[in-house]
A and B are shown apart, each in its own frame.
Chain A
């Protein structure tokens, strides 16, 4: 695992996120179990369902890499201890870069 993130309690709402294997782009799991790059589609899971979803993600090695739990609200907004990191990960660097710098 590339990302060793803080452990979350079973009843804490969490999303499953990973990197798309072919491109490295960040992806999040939707309620239907598919992968999206649209953060408004992030689904929140808890308890056993969350563990099942993570296990499903881990079984998709050719499609996604290093899936992990990320803390979200019940409606899928990024929250908790790692809000800054996960927000930057979702929205990109906080500084203009390349030709925009």
Chain B
């Protein structure tokens, strides 16, 4: 992974000192909240329903054991013994006191972490495939490019006051696990002959006006990537709407200008950039960054493992977990492990300090000190030898981290909702828990197969409900919570925005209604290999709407 050089270390520690002074002035009353707010937001500090919330950046979701252990210490010493992993592959602390935040940031700086650009109208944490560098199906490791974009976008003076926040995702796999089509910019790494380049999608996003991104360039050569990104950002910075917060994202600009005009503006800016001030990344610099992401030196192994096979034969629960939570690794004898943060009836994405310590220990002992946060709010150990899975599983089980549900119906994306969030209109967590309960039976879940249910507690869509195969949106109607259901969304390479099924349901009616929908799918599917989303595409939404609103 990338390691700070002395320049990185200095700017992060200087930022901590600067924020400490700002907090002191806020606490003395010298700075008013209106003056302080933009400063705290630049350091990831929100004021939520109950308390301040600190969002810490985890660049493209990658952590080492020392960093995760430090996050556990922060959770234990400054919060209420837990943290919440987010769909931006970051972590949030829900109860931290403002007076303590400079100390927390100093602790994070010790392990090369910070909260810079985790909020505000700037380029946010670049996200990526949580199996990057390990998965069989990638063209190459996308993380070096995430890091290059991170370095370019951090403190970029021209893009510190954009019309609105800006999110970039990068993938290099055909199966898109980074949701690039619903990002402001989504990059897919391609190759033409020996030349590496980027397919560039612009103007995707969720929120109150969901849009799928438009393909604006099929191939930007790697050396020109930053020039091309600069051109997009300049067009957005110049023409993006600043008069209306709800129309300020680049998706609105792309939509209002139309694809052709937007492309024309970007091309003109790009041409000017190439002529006047091109960045042209030197190959030496590209190589230098890539060197930080050299694959771990994995000992040669055979395709199969006797220890792994033996435990599968004797422990059905382990065998199920191995069927569901492992992802094929590019090296024989290895696998990527999903550490589920979605126990039935738990809080999606939450991990206690003790659980974080366990995962840190597992990473250091068995997994080449590499941990990822997935945008689906789970953790991943990308490089684990099959031989070590029995030991890894036993330790995970002791910590309650062994739920076998990766990409199954109970692996829901759930926003904090009205239980925590100052913007929410309705609760998400208890509804998510109730939905999990009706699908809790492991055989039932496995029979249903891959099915993504995502829930948001307001139209801002932090729970990605627009791209859930089934989406749930909490709304407030005269002080009462209702839940609107959508069908047919997806976040992958076949990205789609879900369609609203009809009137909202009361919270208590949601689990039963979704069970009817899912059982209808089980009756109507062509065979067990046809996923819910595929049956929905084949038959249309009507049979499922009918099931949704049938009398319970």
Interface residues of A (CB under 8 A from B): 2-3, 19, 21-26, 60-63, 65-66, 80-85, 88-89, 92-95, 97-99, 101
Contacts and interface: CB of A to CB of B under 8 A. Distances in A.
Interface residues of B, number: 38
Contacts of A95: 347, 419, 429-430, 433
B193 interface: no
29 contacts: A19-B51, A19-B52, A21-B33, A21-B98, A23-B51, A23-B52, A23-B97, A23-B98, A24-B48, A24-B50, A24-B96, A62-B26, A62-B28, A66-B33, A81-B479, A83-B479, A84-B481, A85-B49, A94-B427, A94-B429, A95-B347, A97-B82, A98-B81, A98-B350, A98-B352, A99-B81, A99-B352, A101-B82, A101-B346
Contacts of B33: 2, 21, 61, 65-66
A16 to B, nearest CB: 15
The 4 A-B residue pairs with the shortest CB-CB distance, nearest first, are A62-B29, A24-B51, A24-B52, A93-B419
A20 to B, nearest CB: 9
Contacts of B422: 2-3
Contacts of A22: 27, 97-99
| A interface: dominant SS | loop
B47 interface: yes
B77 to A, nearest CB: 14
Interface string B103-146: 00000000000000000000000000000000000000000000
A88 B98 contact: no
A25 B98 contact: no
B307 interface: no
B192 interface: no
B32 interface: yes
A97 to B, nearest CB: 6
B20 to A, nearest CB: 14
B352 A21 contact: no
A21 B429 CA distance: 27
B82 A98 contact: yes
Contact of A23 (B99, B419, B433): B99
A46 to B, nearest CB: 21
Contacts of A88: 49, 418-419, 427
A63 B27 CA distance: 7
Contacts of A3: 422
B51 A99 contact: no
Q: Kindly name the residue among B47, B96, B433 whose own CB sees the greatest number of chain A CB atoms within 10 A.
A: B47
Contacts of A61: 29, 32-33
Contact of B350 (A23, A62, A84, A97): A97
Contacts of A97: 80, 82, 347, 350
B478 interface: yes
B51 A93 contact: no
Interface in B27-44: 27-30, 32-33, 37
B420 interface: yes
A24 B47 contact: yes
Interface in B9-38: 26-30, 32-33, 37
Interface string B321-346: 00000000000000000000000001
Given A93-B429, A95-B347, A95-B430, A21 B478 contact: no
B47 A65 contact: yes
Contacts of A92: 50
Interface in B319-378: 346-347, 350, 352, 354
A63 B99 CA distance: 12
A65 to B, nearest CB: 5
Contacts of B429: 93-95
Contacts of B478: 81
